[in-house]
Structure 1
Amino acid sequence: MSGPGSRPPSSTDVARLAGVSQKTVSRVLNGEPYVSEEVRERVLAAARELGYRRNTAARALHLGRFHRIGVAALGSSLYGPSSLLVALERAAREIGYALSVVNTLEGEDGGLMSAVEELLGQGVDAVVVSDPIDEGQAPRLDRDVPVLSFRPIPGLDGPRVVVAGSSGVDAGRQATEHLLGLGHATVWHVAGPSRWWAARDRARGWREALAAAGAAEPPPLEGDWSPASGYAAGRILAADPEVTAVFAANDDMAIGVLRALAEAGRAVPGEVSVAGMDDIPAAAYLSPPLTTVRQDFEAVARRGLALLVEQIERSPGPRAHDDLPARLVVRRSTAPPTAPPPGAEP
């Protein structure tokens, strides 16, 4: 630790301790590509050990940048949105950026654009649009500012838009294909709120998988992401003997479905298979453990911010679009049907 009057550590000190060039230190701290993960971790460890802090105020004056990224987020304690926000903050801090977060409220007209304007007024180099919902009017960003969205938003337009994330369409398709592949004639769906783009993506993947398999499309039941709404939908499904497979748009609703099926005496997976999405920490410890689709929030945040920083620190490039695959996690809540559904040919 430096004593009184000693100079603070510099990027040259970090380079010396990490055994790399000063240019490499700059690349790591600026979030630039073409640096291996091993070198990046070595540089960040050296910076932490030395207590190195960049003078962001001086950098802003020198470069005309704030080294701050704004996040317009739908205020939510749900596992997916909150996990992504934590991953964003951690990834931004590692590359020397700070985050400013403005939460919007579901149902607030023009909330997204109001949040973006507030962030721009605070002084940010770029904006992240996280967990958007359909506000009835497509947002348009006329300012020349980089924007990161974690899914394509119809109508979201601007000169420097980056889309990076884990495709909800692919996740919905994977869960449904898994259930159909086990031999279920079709798959019922407990959907998220229809105003959420993420809910629409997952429902679209479900529909596409059914259509590709030539399976009937049952009417979806809409929930609000909560276990209570999954329970309400599950009671309806439990009363229908033709239901043998259910895909819930998140794990919390899947938990509600499991409770309703248990109360109705419908064994899981003996009579009904259930799959969810998100892989919340409790999913592996339910009875039975829940089959689900996992999103790598850390990887999504890192990749998205890397693309965004490229837009910030270089001359504007073409619109970027990069999806990271979600991963199906198979557990004991799904299995082949034990008997053909009523009405099926023997």
Structure 2
Amino acid sequence: MLKIAYTIKIGSVVCKAGQQTQLIELRSHSELTIPVNTCCLVLGLPQGLTISPEDLVSVELGYENKQTLVFTGKVSRVDWSIDRVRIEAASTFGSLTAARLNRLYEKPHAGDIVKDILKRGKVKVGQVENGLKFSVYGVGELRSAYDELQTLAQQCGFDFYANTQDKAVFAKYKPASTHQFNYGEDILALELEQPHPGVEKVEIYGESPSSQGQGEQAYSWLTKKEVKGTAGSGSGFTTLRLTDPTARTQAVAQKMAEAVLAKQRQKQRGEIKVLGNANVKLGDEIKVSKMPMATLNGSFKITGVSHRLNRRSGFCTVIDWEEV
């Protein structure tokens, strides 16, 4: 039986398995649809510890001598009691949820906009792909910087999240790792969500003649000609129609429609609980095998990861997934 190991760094404090300061409970969570990665730690026998808000936090989990980074962030709250201390930490994406910007970009790639906003929000860059190229793109203060970037990711068909190093990822889903889980071996539980009726057709309407033979310089002209992108097929009940002023050309409108359809179509989703696996990350893929029902087997995209460690239940990992 493998021995669970961990290394927790909070400012100048380092906690490891076997030391006087004991880890009572650990919960970390990251999800594609939630902006901020979080981690909650409960430490026993806290005498001599010095912990303050804004201290840097990193958490590594694993077995024996092999540990993997699962969280990086800063202390957001500390609750002291006589026999324990409870620490809440969050990733730096919190700055994007609070920021409001007024910016106008001319002829940018989506990646250029992302890098500029991340720099202003003091968020580190991990991977930022170029994505669509726009004639002009405006960011307004009516929405948070995070919401603006999530919209941009949807237009490009990308994911936008913070990785375990607390660095921003703005990229198309391309799993770097596939994690194999087998029923009866490392799968503890699996939940299947009944898919809701999805969108079968998407229409994106833009506002410029620049693709009607006038070129990108014509982005500000008025016209009666329609700029429209269409993806999929379906009736009016399953058609999503959107107006997007950033779609200045037929090509951009078409790519937006395809990306939105991929996001909104009917998908199988669920949750799987497995023996603790610190290697599972957002952007990876899981492969499920040997399930009692053959329809539950297959390869799925990871959309959320929670690691849980305590004395009662040990170390387990809960993974949210969806079909690609």
TM-score scaled to structure 1, two decimals? 0.23
Of Structure 1 and Structure 2, which has the larger fraction of its residues in helix?
1
TM-score scaled to structure 2, two decimals? 0.24
Of Structure 1 and Structure 2, which has the larger fraction of its residues in strand?
2
